[in-house]
Structures are given as C-alpha cells and as structure tokens.
Amino acid sequence: MKGAPALRPAAETFVGCAVELTNIALPPTGGQSLARQTELLREKLGSALGIVDQLSGAPVARSVDQQVSEREIRMLIRLRRNRDRFFAADLFADPAWDILLELYAAQLGQLRISVSNLCAAAAVPATTALRWITQLEEKGLIARRSDPTDGRRQFLMLSSEGFDAMNGYFRTVPTGATLV
C-alpha cells in the first residue's frame, strides 16, 4: 500500500497526543508496534473508546442489535432532497434507492405507503417511479398489498428479503455517517 508509510507519523502523533491529553501512562514503547501501542491505549480508555475512534477519524461501527431509526432514514431522505437545491435533479437520480429508503422508513415507523404517495416521494416522474417499483417487485425486494377498505388503492412495503437487505446494509454503516 503506497500511502501507508505517510500515515504512520500522523498515527504515531495521534497516539502520543491521546496519551498526553488523557494522562494515561503506557509502558515504554520498547520497540512495540503502533498497533500494540494503540491497543494498550484502547484498553486503558475502556468506555471512552469511541472518543479515540472519533478523534482518529475511524468510523464507529453500529452494533449488531442497534437498528437504524426511522428518524435517521428520514434525515437521509431530506439530505438527498436538499441536493436538488444546488444541482440538477437528474444528476443524482437514483429512484430505486429513494423508493427503498421511503419504504424502509415507512416500515420502521409502522406506516403504510400507497403507490401514489411512493411515486411522489421518489422525486421522479410517476412513470419512472412505477417502472422502478415493478423492477423492485420482480427482484423480490418489495411487495404490494391491496387496501382492504378501498379496492382501488394498493400499499407497498419491503418484502422480508428487502427489509433484511436494508437492515443488513445499515448495520454496515457507521453510526452518525451521513450518506447522501
């Protein structure tokens, strides 16, 4: 890896600063690797480990049982729509992802979303949204249910496969990461 040697002095400086700021006494380096020094610092810091990761720029991984919230997904959707204020909307058109995000947020919030509302939320022409809905249905990521009170209306939701895929994806996204 070409860039690794250039990063080493910065990492050593970081470990040194962390030790100095926290007044944690580490044993003399005695030829210990940077990884070992970092590990010793982590052990000494204990519950403050997240601070080390934040200061070093390392993403804080989401725990296996920590599910993303509807609020986080809604914020992500707002950030994606905010881009349209500064760039042409078709520059970042990703209707499939927008549809999946809307359905994921709805499911997390235990809300139902109609086909027409989903088309509007996807921020693309209805024909484009309907084409993507069909493709996502064919791939088994979303499911369609009839409204029991109004036969003309249908609701869309993530299939169990689609919900598992979204959960799996967001488990790999570090807490606090802003993906737009």
pLDDT 10s digits, 36-65: 666 666 666 654 555 555 555 555 555 556
Number of domain units in the chain: 2
CATH number for the domain harbouring residue 114: 1.10.10.10
Instruction: Check whether residue 121 and residue 153 sit in a common domain.
Output: yes
Residue ranges making up the domain that contains 8: 4-56
Q: In this predicted structure, which of 16-20, 90-94, 108-112 has the lowest mean pLDDT?
A: 16-20
Instruction: Check whether residue 80 and residue 129 sit in a common domain.
Output: yes
Is residue 62 situated within a structural domain? Answer: no
Instruction: Check whether residue 47 and residue 77 sit in a common domain.
Output: no
Question: pTM above 0.75?
Answer: no
Can you tell me which residue has the tokens 């509807």?
A: 70
Instruction: Check whether residue 168 and residue 79 sit in a common domain.
Output: yes
- Name every residue whose Cβ is closer than 8 Å to that of residue 32 and which is 6 or more positions away in sequence: 40
Instruction: Check whether residue 39 and residue 88 sit in a common domain.
Output: no
DSSP code for 87:
S
Is residue 129 situated within a structural domain? Answer: yes
Torsion of Cα atoms, 67 then 70 then 75 then 80, to 10° = 90
Contact 114, 154 (CB under 8 A): yes
| CB burial of residue 35 (10 Å; 0-12, 13-18, 19+) | exposed
CA-nearest of 73, 28, 21, 88 to 48 is: 21
Instruction: Check whether residue 151 and residue 100 sit in a common domain.
Output: yes
CA-nearest of 35, 70, 76 to 56 is: 35
| Helix locations, 23-125, DSSP H | 34-45, 49-56, 70-82, 95-108, 115-121
Instruction: Check whether residue 25 and residue 49 sit in a common domain.
Output: yes
Instruction: Check whether residue 33 and residue 75 sit in a common domain.
Output: no
What is the pLDDT at residue 69? Answer: 85
CA 84 from centroid of its chain's CA atoms: 20
Q: Looking at per-residue confidence, does 65 or 173 come out higher? A: 173
Instruction: Check whether residue 50 and residue 77 sit in a common domain.
Output: no
* pLDDT tens by residue, 101-123: 999 999 999 999 999 999 998 88
